[in-house]
Amino acid sequence: MRVKMEETPLELRRRVANKLDSIRGTPMAAGGDAACLGEFACPVYRPDVQGIAYWEFEIAGLKQTSPLAHTGPSSNLGFMVASTGTHDFPVPHWSLNNQPPSRALEAMAGTAGKVERITKLDTLAYVAEDGTGKYLAHIGQFPLQIAAHPGDLSSLRGINTSIAKPKAPSKDDSAPPPLVLQGAKVPDLKLAAWTTWPAAKEGYAAAYKVHLDALRARAATAWQVEELISRFGEGIHEGDQMRVSLLKPGKAAVAGEGAGHVKMSIVDRQPPIVSLEAVPVDVKKEASFELVISYADGTSEKLQYFVVPKGTPSNYRSTLPHLTLKPEGGVGI
């Protein structure tokens, strides 16, 4: 079920490492100063997505984590779940306090069978299957299906008002006034449990289409930001620092027109971190540079950045990397 961390997509490993760096040293990552990618990752599926929908990355370097939804011991690993596409937010679920969902499901399954596949159903809901697709265990609240509703839930849209108006003056509230409903009618929706795990998988896409479409729409802006960062890099204002974790042992160097605008140093710790500091320069214009990381196993990364000297004309100086939400929706630079 699990694979070596090196077998996962490099861009997802970098996204998770950047997420770790963004929260390191904050209350959200208490005890996670040495947090780093662990040795293994687990593929996670979703019934409506072809192929692997997520990767569960194990986070090591933590002092202690708690067991998740069971009373057994913890693996002392945290986790970050990264999406493989725009069907969900780039990193929709993570914790440096609890063990990975896959480890918890293995503990819960016990002797019922060997966990071979993990499926994500909701933000916090995961299911474990054996090699034949048999349900073994789940964590989180298993989503119920909404029964007795039209297939197109948009027909339920509308404004509804509720008015409580007494027929005659009253000295107390012993006789509540009648409630008058006006406008769109509230549908009689019923929640029902799925009869079997195969039925839940087969009916998942249709039952939750409206919710899954809304999730994709909400995540769209986050993916636009990821795309812009990938294309143009992240901005570093003069005097500011940015720290970038190495994914494994390696060396780093800066290159490009903006290389002279940045001071690079290696922070001697585990995991090794590259510190990038934008230094004062006479030229008042943004300058791009690359951080080139060469790993001992022969692989490499080229990460894009740009330096913004003080006094450089910019409409978006207060944000990094110069992103803004447009009134009509979407992201601009």
Helix (H) or strand (E) holding 108: helix 101-109
- Residue 42, pLDDT > 70, answer yes
Task: Indicate the pLDDT class of residue 318, thresholds 50, 70 and 90.
Answer: very low
Residue range 87-108: average pLDDT?
97
pLDDT at position 150, please?
A: 56
> pLDDT at position 249, please?
87
- Of 17-21, 93-97, 232-236, 313-317, least confident by mean pLDDT is 313-317
Of 116-120, 131-135, 323-327, give the lowest mean pLDDT range. Answer: 323-327
- Whether 202 shows a pLDDT value over 80: the answer reads yes
Q: What is the pLDDT of residue 322?
A: 43
Domain definitions of the chain by residue range: 3-143+195-219, 146-190, 233-332
Mean per-residue pLDDT over the chain, rounded: 88
Q: Tell me which of 2.60.40.10, 3.60.15.10, 1.10.357.10, 3.90.650.10 is the CATH number of domain 233-332.
A: 2.60.40.10
Q: Which residue has the higher pLDDT, 166 or 300?
A: 300
pLDDT exceeds 90 at position 281: no
Lowest mean pLDDT among 125-134, 234-243, 268-277: 268-277
Extract long-range pairs of 125-129: CB within 8 Å, 24+ residues apart. 126/44, 126/101, 126/102, 127/197, 128/102, 129/197
Backbone angles phi, psi at 299, to 5 degrees: -85, 165
Cα separation, 333 vs 326, in Å, equals 9
Pick from 311, 313, 319: nearest CA to 236? 319
Compute the chain's Rg from CA coordinates: 25
* Rounded to 5°, angle at Cα 321 from 319 and 326: 65
Residues 203-223, mean pLDDT to the nearest whole number: 95
What pLDDT does 183 receive?
81
Cα 291 to Cα 286: distance, rounded to the nearest angstrom: 16
169 falls in which pLDDT band (50, 70, 90)?
Answer: confident
Tokens 């409630």 sit at which residue? 179
- Copy the structure tokens of residue 302: 């080229």
Q: Which amino acid is at 54?
A: Y
